[in-house]
Amino acid sequence: MTDEKDERRPAGELEAAVMAALWAAGEPLTPSRVQRELGVGLARTTVTTILSRLHDKGVVGRERLGRGYAYFAVQDAPGLTARRMHGELARDTDRETVLARFVAQLSADDEQVLRRLLEGDER
């Protein structure tokens, strides 16, 4: 049985909460352990489904633990954000326009960071 709260919460929000739990743990977690770490009344089956979907996306890895799996993050938060940005860019055929509009909407500080990175000064 799925918890009523599970159905109302956007998948992205649940995925973010699961990722936060994995990052905070710093070690592989079973779905039951992730469920306990979240402490928000999610069904274990819901947590397992989210972890499986994240694994299918390549965002988490897993290792066999008994009859199930323990999951771990394969990217940190900035890496995951960069992956999402690449995904959004890949959805559009006019990449030049998308990039131009993205850059046009950057703050002055972010523009300076981008310029520095493009020039190869990654500090």
Q: Model pTM?
A: 0.70
Q: What's phi and psi for 62, nearest 5 deg?
A: -150, 155
Output 75 or 62, whichever has higher pLDDT: 62
Q: What is the DSSP letter of 22?
A: H
CA distance linking residue 8 with residue 6, whole number of Å: 6
Condensed to tens digits (0 to 9), the pLDDT of residues 7-64 reads: 556 667 888 899 999 999 989 999 999 999 998 788 899 999 999 999 999 999 999 9
How much of the chain, in percent, has pLDDT values that exceed 70?
89
Band of residue 2 on the pLDDT scale cut at 50, 70, 90: very low
For position 37, what pLDDT does the model report? 92
